[in-house]
């Protein structure tokens, strides 16, 4: 039996799970009802349920089976976005009941697919030759900050994980198609939130003030050109601003300015770390030159890029062709967005795949983090089947992925965020 055949009896329940989660979205760190819903569902399947405080929920199948086990992962938090009642083509099937909060990135679909995979595998538990972890992570939209610190050390301490798998829905891939890339699938990077403190004054005497606006303009000009100066030509790195706030009156020089944004890269070690160090130096030296002082509200260690294990990616494609169908496989470009799955893949060999959700007739295909974002629920079945295919292939064959853990420390890994 293929995994897509295993999942068919649970497709309607996956859709129901996705709709309940979509109608009851909760922000990062507030996923109380979401986790209760998931834990209850896992318990009804007969799985062992581990609730990790400020981390997430883990369902365990065949907990006492011989190690190593396979880890399947989903995220569960929503975004502070007011949902548009219509998607790109029509009125939505279901809509958030929590005003101003929306599953605008597909985490409702991720959780529903993982619940579907858990149902299918739990029914087949006597033929599943090993332990499976179903990990539901909270706080991903905040880069895992404050949550991965609890979740990943717990997993590493209590379970011997041999491989891991996750998927992210994508707006630009046709619904039901799945892409598995070798190497980098999503970007790493870091966020920054900096206040420049100067001294204000009357607009008629700028010589008596230390303008944070002038200082910022000099900083921004240097940062915009910094990529060309210090990053190798074959490296991908972007720098962007999302916020700039200063002043209220046209004839008054303010005493402070706040700016915030993100930097993204496909290679944190070669590009992200170097850019972060030089960026901080530029800010400090430019502030000193302008008689200002920088205050770093947020300047995170760069999150690693999402880098799939090449051998695991190849096996995953083979498993998907066998269990889901050759026609389901597609390819795509890496995605410049970031994902905390990057930390899992630094600890254990595995894959982050992409599950397509685009269906122009149904109106799904708006970009992530927008009010029109929607999911074609036909993607849930092949998406969950791919996760099951990965798990069964690993447990049955125990392949050697040639993986060696390469991290500074667990503390350093989980402290990184956007």
Q: What is the pLDDT of residues 327-341, one digit of tens each?
A: 999 999 999 999 999
Mean of the pLDDT values across residues 13-34? 98
pLDDT digits (tens, 9 = 90+) for 24-76: 999 999 999 999 999 999 999 999 999 999 999 999 999 988 889 999 999 99
Q: How far is CA 344 from CA 65, 115, 129, 305, 405, in A?
A: 22, 19, 23, 11, 11
pTM of the complete model: 0.94
Predicted confidence at residue 372, as pLDDT, reads 98
pLDDT digits (tens, 9 = 90+) for 110-138: 999 999 999 999 999 888 999 999 999 99
Q: How far is CA 389 from CA 6, 56, 114, 312, in A?
A: 10, 24, 12, 12
Mean of the pLDDT values across residues 77-90? 98
Q: Cα angle at 65 between 63 and 69, to 5 degrees?
A: 75
Question: Sign of torsion, CA 47 134 41 154?
Answer: positive
- DSSP secondary structure letter of residue 364: B
Q: Cα angle at 267 between 266 and 271, to 5 degrees?
A: 115
Question: Strands, E, within 300-349: which ranges?
Answer: 306-308, 329-330, 335-338
pLDDT digits (tens, 9 = 90+) for 133-162: 999 999 999 887 889 999 999 999 999 999
The domains located in the chain, with CATH, are 3-184+304-415 (3.40.630.10), 199-291 (3.30.70.360)
Q: Phi first, then psi: give them for residue 257, nearest 5 degrees.
A: -145, 140
Write the CB contacts of 135 (distance below 8 Å, at least 6 apart in sequence).
56, 57, 58, 71, 72, 73, 74, 151, 155
Distance (Å, rounded) from C-alpha 161 to C-alpha 194?
39
pLDDT digits (tens, 9 = 90+) for 195-223: 999 999 999 999 999 999 999 999 999 99
Q: How far is CA 265 from CA 238, 239, 305, 337, in A?
A: 7, 9, 7, 9
Question: Sign of torsion, CA 262 266 267 270?
Answer: negative
């Amino acid at each position: 039996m293929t995994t897509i055949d295993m999942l068919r009896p649970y497709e309607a329940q996956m859709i129901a799970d996705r709709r309940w989660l979509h109608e009851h979205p909760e922000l990062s760190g507030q996923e109380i009802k979401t986790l209760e819903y998931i834990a209850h569902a896992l318990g009804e399947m007969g799985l062992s349920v581990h609730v990790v405080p400020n981390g997430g929920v883990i369902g365990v199948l065949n907990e006492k089976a011989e190690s190593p086990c396979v880890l399947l992962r989903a995220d569960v938090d929503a975004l502070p976005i007011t949902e548009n009642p219509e998607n790109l083509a029509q009125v939505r099937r279901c809509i958030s009941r929590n005003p101003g909060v929306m599953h605008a990135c597909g985490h409702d679909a991720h959780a529903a697919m993982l619940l579907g995979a858990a149902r299918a595998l739990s029914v087949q538990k006597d033929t599943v030759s090993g332990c499976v972890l179903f990990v539901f992570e909270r706080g991903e939209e905040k880069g895992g900050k404050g949550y991965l610190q609890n979740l990943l050390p717990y997993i590493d301490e209590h379970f011997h994980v041999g491989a891991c798998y996750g998927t992210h829905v994508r707006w630009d891939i046709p619904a039901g198609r799945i892409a598995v890339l070798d190497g980098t699938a999503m970007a790493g990077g870091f966020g920054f939130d900096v206040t420049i403190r100067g001294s204000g004054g009357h607009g008629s005497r700028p010589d008596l003030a230390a303008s944070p606006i002038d200082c910022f303009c000099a900083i921004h000009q240097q940062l915009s050109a910094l990529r060309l100066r210090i990053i190798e030509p074959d490296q991908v790195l972007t720098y962007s601003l999302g916020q700039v706030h200063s002043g209220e009156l046209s004839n008054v020089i303010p005493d402070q300015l706040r700016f915030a944004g993100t930097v993204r890269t496909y290679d944190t070690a070669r590009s992200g770390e170097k850019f972060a160090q030089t960026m901080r130096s530029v800010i400090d030296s430019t502030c000193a030159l302008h008689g200002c002082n920088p205050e770093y509200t947020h300047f995170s260690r760069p999150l690693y890029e999402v880098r799939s294990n090449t051998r695991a990616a190849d096996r995953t494609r083979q498993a998907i062709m066998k269990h889901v169908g050759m026609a389901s496989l597609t390819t795509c470009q890496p995605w410049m967005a970031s994902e905390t799955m990057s930390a899992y893949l630094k600890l254990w060999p595995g894959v982050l795949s992409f599950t397509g959700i685009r269906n122009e007739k149904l109106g799904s295909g708006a970009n992530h983090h927008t009010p029109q974002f929607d999911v074609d629920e036909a993607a849930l079945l092949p998406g969950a089947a791919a996760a099951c295919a990965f798990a069964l292939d690993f447990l049955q064959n125990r392949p050697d992925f040639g993986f060696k853990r390469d991290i500074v420390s667990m503390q350093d890994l989980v402290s990184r965020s956007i």
